[in-house]
Amino acid sequence: MTAAVSAPSRALKLRQGTADLHDNIDKSIMAKDPFANVDNYVQFLSLQYYFLKDVAALYEHSELSKHIDDLVSRRRLGLLEQDFADLKQPLPSSSLTPLIDNNTDLATALGWLYVVEGSKVGAAMLGKQVQARLHYTGEFAARYLAGPGAGRGSAWRHLVQLIDTIELTQAQEQALIDGARQAFSRFQLYQAQVYS
Ligand code: HEM
């Protein structure tokens, strides 16, 4: 008897196809001890801010919004801005031009969105750490990390479901993975800037 072997889902392929970049980012962020003191934390928030500013157009992307009803409400830039205000810190400003705009093709944009939304999965865990070490919460200075949508909630499950079921050509499948890898690389570029 031959056991049926089903192909891994697209979301799983995305996860496997970007695991090297995720591991590198996770380890290098934690190596900076981001919750050791306020300065380190502000540096960590600046990194997130540069990245979220860079990808802001994703949350208004007209093709993505046809597939994701709550796209606009998934944005976290406002929460991050409030964290800076809580800490009485100015917002950082980047000299880089965003790579994403409304003309970015759907599959590439979806690959980027997977990365940005996926960063909320780890954020839930980091939110607990910042609360334990700096006593910041979802009501003050850790709105971004502890805010709504963190973890593997229904918003994440819906995105994974969309990635798995949306009709894509082979070229678009590749664009999806390339988009996700580009997004992680973009994050690494900001890491290099913030921690230079
Ligand atoms: C210190 C920083 C980070 C830590 C500790 C961390 C940790 C985690 C953890 C524990 C998960 C869940 C893995 C699992 O359930 O097996 C996860 C998922 C994920 N994280 Fe991170 N993460 C960090 C930063 C980031 C950043 C900056 C990004 C994006 C730029 C990111 C993107 C993702 C993605 C896309 C997933 C979903 C993977 C999947 O299930 O397909 N993470 N992260």
Q: Which domains does the chain have, with CATH numbers?
A: 33-194 (1.20.910.10)
Which amino acid appears at position 165 of this protein?
Answer: T
Given a contact cutoff of 8 angstroms between Cβ atoms, the answer to whether 99 and 182 are in contact is: yes
Q: What whole-number distance in Å separates Cα of residue 160 and Cα of residue 162?
A: 5
Q: How far is the CA of 4 from the centre of ligand 1 (A)?
A: 31
pTM score over 0.85: yes
Q: How far is the CA of 121 from the centre of ligand 1 (A)?
A: 6
Cβ(184) to ligand 1 under 6 A? yes
Cβ(13) to ligand 1 under 6 A? no
Q: What whole-number distance in Å separates Cα of residue 87 and Cα of residue 65?
A: 33
User: Nearest-CA neighbor of 142 among 154, 162, 126?
Assistant: 126
Instruction: Annotate 54-82 with DSSP letters as a single string.
Output: HTGGGGG-HHHHHH-TTTGGG--HHHHHH
Q: What whole-number distance in Å separates Cα of residue 164 and Cα of residue 142?
A: 32
Predicted local distance difference test score (pLDDT) of residue 2: 46
Predicted local distance difference test score (pLDDT) of residue 13: 95
Given a contact cutoff of 8 angstroms between Cβ atoms, the answer to whether 14 and 110 are in contact is: no
**Ligand 1 mutation target, pool 15, 26, 145, 191, most atoms within 8 A of CB:** 26
Predicted local distance difference test score (pLDDT) of residue 4: 54
pLDDT tens, the chain, 196 aa long? 444 556 679 999 999 999 999 999 999 999 999 999 999 999 999 999 999 999 999 999 999 999 999 999 999 999 999 999 999 999 999 889 999 999 999 999 999 999 999 999 999 899 999 999 999 999 999 999 987 777 778 999 999 999 999 999 999 999 999 999 999 999 999 999 999 8
Predicted local distance difference test score (pLDDT) of residue 95: 82
How does 18-55 read in b/e, with b if 16+ C-beta sit within 10 Å?
beebbeebeeebeeeebbeeeeebbebbbbbbbbbbbb
**Distance set, CA 38 to CA 49, 133, 143, 168, 173 (Å):** 16, 10, 15, 45, 42
Predicted local distance difference test score (pLDDT) of residue 119: 95
Q: What whole-number distance in Å separates Cα of residue 102 and Cα of residue 182?
A: 17
Predicted local distance difference test score (pLDDT) of residue 5: 59
